[in-house]
Structure 1
Amino acid sequence: MAIPKRLLKQTGRFARVDGIPYALPVNSDNAAVIMAAFPANYEIARSLLPGNEVHPVRLLNGKAVFLVTVVDYRKTDIGKYIEYSIALACTHGSRPAPKLLPALFIKSYQTGQYILDLPVSTEISVKGGKGIWGMPKHQANLDFIEGLDLISAQYDLEGEMVMRLDVNRPSGLKLPINMGAANYCQFRGMLMKSYIYFKGKASITLNKKNAASVTFGNHPKATILKNLQVENQPLFTAYIPKATGVLDDYFESWFLSYPQLPTTGPEGLESVIDLGLGEEWLENPNRMRVTKPQIAGA
């Protein structure tokens, strides 16, 4: 799915939304990306999705798909920042999709990812991502380290590690990619759906033992992720050293419904209304902080 012509025609125009200035289309250049997907417990994954119209993708073996994507944004309208996406592959519709078909018929099943957590480096990224697109962004301690053999990204919060993703640098040819993806999340009591398009050259590994690992820390947010029973052999990994991305200015939303009226209100605009435009990062994660982390699948 290539970038829509509608967005490309906006080149040279500008917008100011919630006080944030944008040169259109909303894009990024020279970003580095690592991504890995792991099998996880389907029933537990299903319990984490809100409402009744978002469903985990089910593999042939009945497992759900746990997705981690970390992007080191180096050139954007709102400055440099890291974005650490923790998600579940999902479909959108009145009932769960059959096994395998959501990967083949993406439009028919509205296949995408439901974002469980989305820490970022800067305040302005929180303000824009949550206030405009409804993404569950919050500021955290993040890093993105590209070594000769390993690309690693760690996420700390409140003095504890939440998780770390380590991807062995893939060898072999880099494949050109030009695709789009749908992101689902919840905000203000609504299901939000936004779209991103990206292109670059990716090194990809498929179902290779030890190609990547996820390590969970001791922060309470890690408990939810540990409960997903993430397996230790990835379904695939990808590394894109230089990617170009475009975030669509179009998004959709639906009321989330439940069998009974929710007793507590969801996070709303009060969480973003007083945010500023700061581009300062918190300190780097402390990679020596956790002495007994839990490795996925262990």
Structure 2
Amino acid sequence: MARHLIQGREVAMPVRIRDVAVCAASYLVRADAARAVIAYSNLDVAEVLPRKALCTLMFADYVDGDLDPYHEFGIAFLVRPPGAGHAPGGGLRANLAELRAAGAGAFVHWLPVDQGFTLEAGRSIWGFPKELADIDLRLSTPYKRCILRKDGRMVLDLLIKPGVPVPGTGMMTAMDAYSHLEGVTRRIPWSMTPRGVRARPGGALIRLGNHSIAKELSELGLPRRALMTTTVAHMAMSFGEAKEP
């Protein structure tokens, strides 16, 4: 079993998260703009509709896991696996199903956290682009809210209204996550078992600040109506060893 030494502690693979609450808002954005944002990775966004890519903003409260409790915010894009064909030609739902069946994954473009141990583990084990930031999560209210500041500057204020319960949760799903750090792109096996899932069309309000990441999001067309929002009361996850794709 592979092990990594992080701040004097051994972290065994796969890394297991036993309980995390997650809120996410997914947006349709221009594929050409998304390609420009992640061009450094040598990956290509998956076009879920002609000339449209999928960008997801998420925030999470990690309650129990191998990397200790922490808060996290993330920006990710659905990407085609290296060498895969181009966009399918059906509707949005059929295209998403086909892309996932073909191995489409989530490229993690930015991943601020608020604790040093998970920062070092994420960067050294998987090459995740983790940075320290001030992440104010308000998850005990009917509206789930994340206020994110980096280097003393407002990045965004994201509010999500939970939708209706999604039946059939509790089943494990798996997909690949992709990262890029210091010139190296990596593929990370990622499995999830969600419970207490709610979803709805729309359901998000976003206010951008004056940070450079906020400017990047504005160039993608945000703020705009979310395609879909999802909240997960409890999720278990595992992350395997990173490999170059």
Instruction: Please indicate, yes or no, whether the TM-score normalized by the shorter chain is above 0.5.
Output: yes
Cα pair 1:194 1:251 within 8 Å, conserved: yes
Q: How far is 1:48 from its partner?
A: 1.6
Indicate if the aligned counterparts of 2:142 and 2:161 stay in contact, CA closer than 8 A.
yes
Q: Return the offset for 1:55.
A: 1.2
- Over 3 Å counting, the alpha-carbon distance change for 1:232 and 1:202 in structure 2 is farther
The alignment status of 1:225 with 2:211, answered yes or no, reads: no
Alignment of 1:84-163 (within 5 A): 84-94=73-83, 97-99=86-88, 101=95, 103-108=97-102, 110-163=103-156
**Which runs of 5 or more structure 2 residues have no equivalent in the other structure?**
none
Corresponding residue number in structure 2 for 1:263: none
Unaligned runs of 5+ in 1: 1-9, 255-298
How far did 1:84 drift?
1.0
Work out whether 1:215 is the aligned partner of 2:207.
yes
- Higher strand share goes to which structure? 2
State the match for 1:170 in structure 2: 163
Secondary structure, in 3 states, of the residue corresponding to 2:86? Answer: coil
Amino acid in the other structure paired with 2:192: F
Partner of 1:205: 199
CA distance in 1, matches of 2:168, 2:205: 23
Distance 2:38 2:17 in 1: 29
**What aligned pairs does 1:261-276 form with structure 2 within 5 A after superposition?**
none
Give the share of equivalent positions with the same residue, in percent: 20
DSSP 3-state at the match of 2:97: helix
* Superposed CA offset, 1:4-40 (max 9, x none): xxxxxx7xxx844344323554212221111110111
Larger Rg: 1 or 2?
1
One-letter amino acid matched to 2:87: P
Q: What is aligned with 2:32?
A: 43
**Is 1:56 matched with 2:45?**
yes
Larger displacement relative to structure 2 (17-26 or 146-155): 17-26
Partner SS state of residue 61, structure 2: strand
TM-score (norm 2): 0.86
Question: How many residues of Structure 1 are paired with residues of Structure 2 in the alignment?
Answer: 238
2:128–2:180 CA contact under 8 A, matched in 1:
yes
Structure 1 residue 76 displacement after superposition: 1.8
Q: 2:231 matched to 1:239?
A: yes
Structure-2 separation of matches of 1:95 and 1:24: 28
* Amino acid in the other structure paired with 1:17: L
